[in-house]
């Protein structure tokens, strides 16, 4: 097995540049690249709650494509172009893993690609057989 395993899934938007959706290390650590809220009819003018749901759905689809589940997410990082959106986004972040509570980082950034208001990435772990 190579040191890093790059996986691609059609269940989430294809990379917009030179990167992989996730990289998986031999120990089963999954590092999901930051996901914009592409897909599902969401666009930069959509409400932030819709953007958050789509970005996190993309992250979850990528995690699941590796054979892991939402319960395997160890950390979610959320990038917001406006930190005042945090309260709304926090409620959505709580929906994704259900009762599972991964570590979380929230950062305000000066802008996001294509004019979106949110992006998210994650670190998860899958059990190797």
> Greater confidence, 2 or 90?
90
Closest by CA to 56, choosing from 24, 88, 16, is 88
- Model-level pTM? 0.93
Q: Which CATH architecture has domain 5-125?
A: 2-Layer Sandwich (3.30)
C-alpha 67/C-alpha 4 separation (Å) is 16
Phi (first) and psi of residue 95, to 5 degrees: -75, -35
Q: Where are the domains of the chain?
A: 5-125
From the CA atom positions of the chain, what is the Rg in Å?
Answer: 14
106: number of Cβ within 10 Å = 16
Query: What are the pLDDT digits (tens) for 16-74?
Result: 887 888 999 989 999 999 999 999 999 999 999 999 999 999 999 999 999 999 999 99
């Amino acid at each position: 097995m190579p040191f890093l395993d790059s996986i691609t899934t059609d269940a989430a938007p294809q990379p917009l540049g030179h990167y992989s959706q996730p990289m998986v290390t031999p120990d089963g650590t999954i590092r999901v690249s930051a996901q914009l809220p592409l897909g599902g009819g969401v666009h930069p003018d959509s409400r932030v709650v819709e953007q958050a749901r789509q970005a996190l759905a993309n992250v979850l689809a990528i995690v699941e494509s590796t054979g892991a589940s939402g319960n395997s997410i160890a950390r979610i990082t959320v990038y917001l172009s406006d930190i005042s959106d945090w309260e709304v986004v926090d409620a959505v972040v709580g929906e994704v893993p259900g009762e599972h509570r991964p570590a979380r980082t929230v950062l305000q950034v000066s802008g996001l690609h294509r004019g979106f208001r949110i992006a998210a990435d994650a670190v998860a772990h899958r059990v190797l057989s």
